[in-house]
Amino acid sequence: MSLPLCPCNSGKLYEECCYRKKDSSGKPLFFKGAMTGDSKGNWHPFPNIRLAVIIGTQAIDRYRDFATKLVTKSRLPGKHHKDFVNNYALFYQAYDDLMKSLEKTGGEGVAFQTDSIESRAKWKNFLLTGRILLDFIGLHSRESLNLDQDIGGLNKKKFNLLITTLEKLGKKDKKFLGLINRLIPLREDVLRFIDFRDEEKKPKDTIIEFPSVDSEYGIVRDGKVSLKGINFDMIQFIKNSYETIYKLNLIVLDV
């Protein structure tokens, strides 16, 4: 079952299209975040009850608190703070949930596979929420970094545009050159994460082997995800991706 293109038939991913659009009354065209599948393997937005419940629970409070402290140090206009806090908190929680799911142990001193529908769903949610956060950061980089042009949701082209824009500004203010030096090392991991998210649109699963956990010693080993025929250590990829996106947020928010 593939993940959704936007119901408006734009050909874009849902979270990169009508996720942010509103109708004339100010209501979202399609409810954010939550999807439901049908018998034909298609996905559709459905009322955002689940997302509202998650945000309202105590479980997400610590993620929101961290994001709030982060954004209040930035130059991002206050009108965007709530969206950033929600987006970052959902990504932070998705990462935490996924890692807990993959490292879940059971039994005594035995190695076993954690492959499950639950873990695969958490993997997809990790990629989904991370992509939404990257989109948000790119869209608001002009305001948070005081740039002279819009960048847009981050992808290979937009990431390069951000670098080029900073280089131009760096001729007058060396601060922007410092930001470039911090961005360049993140480029490969950011674009690989986006590639993995895009691969989830296709029927073929990107997970080829789940990690094996020794419940006696807590050792996580093996576990592979595949991108265009190249395999990556799953646990390491997830940790690297989270750390990279966290660092990117610090840079783009200029904190």
- Total domains in the fold of the chain: 1
CA neighbor of 180 nearest in space, from 194, 193, 162: 162
pLDDT at residue 102 is higher than 60: yes
Identify which has the larger pLDDT, 3 or 104.
104
- Answer whether residue 233 is part of any domain: yes
pLDDT at residue 223 is higher than 50: yes
pLDDT for res 110: 46
What is the residue-averaged pLDDT of the chain?
Answer: 79
Could you give the C-alpha distances from 99 to 96, 162, 238, 239, in angstroms and in order?
5, 31, 8, 9
- Answer whether residue 8 is part of any domain: no
Residues with Cβ within 8 Å of residue 217, at least 6 apart in sequence: none
Identify which has the larger pLDDT, 115 or 136.
136
- Answer whether residue 31 is part of any domain: no
Q: For the ranges 22-36, 139-153, 154-168, 200-214, which has the lowest average pLDDT?
A: 22-36
d(Cα 244, Cα 255) in Å, to the nearest integer?
15
**CA 134 centroid distance within chain:** 6
Identify the DSSP state of 108. S
| Structural domain that includes position 159 | 57-252
pLDDT for res 40: 54
- Answer whether residue 14 is part of any domain: no
Identify the DSSP state of 22. B
Could you give the C-alpha distances from 237 to 10, 32, 127, 203, 246, in angstroms and in order?
31, 27, 11, 21, 14
* C-beta atoms surrounding 160 within 10 Å: 12
pLDDT at residue 150 is higher than 60: yes
Give Dmax (Cα) for the chain. Answer: 63
- Answer whether residue 84 is part of any domain: yes
What does 190-239 look like in DSSP terms, one character per residue?
HHHHHHHHHHTTSSS-SEEE--EEETTTTEEE--EEEETTEEEEHHHHHH
- Answer whether residue 222 is part of any domain: yes
- Answer whether residue 157 is part of any domain: yes
pTM of the model: 0.73
pLDDT for res 179: 94
pLDDT at residue 135 is higher than 80: yes
- Answer whether residue 211 is part of any domain: yes
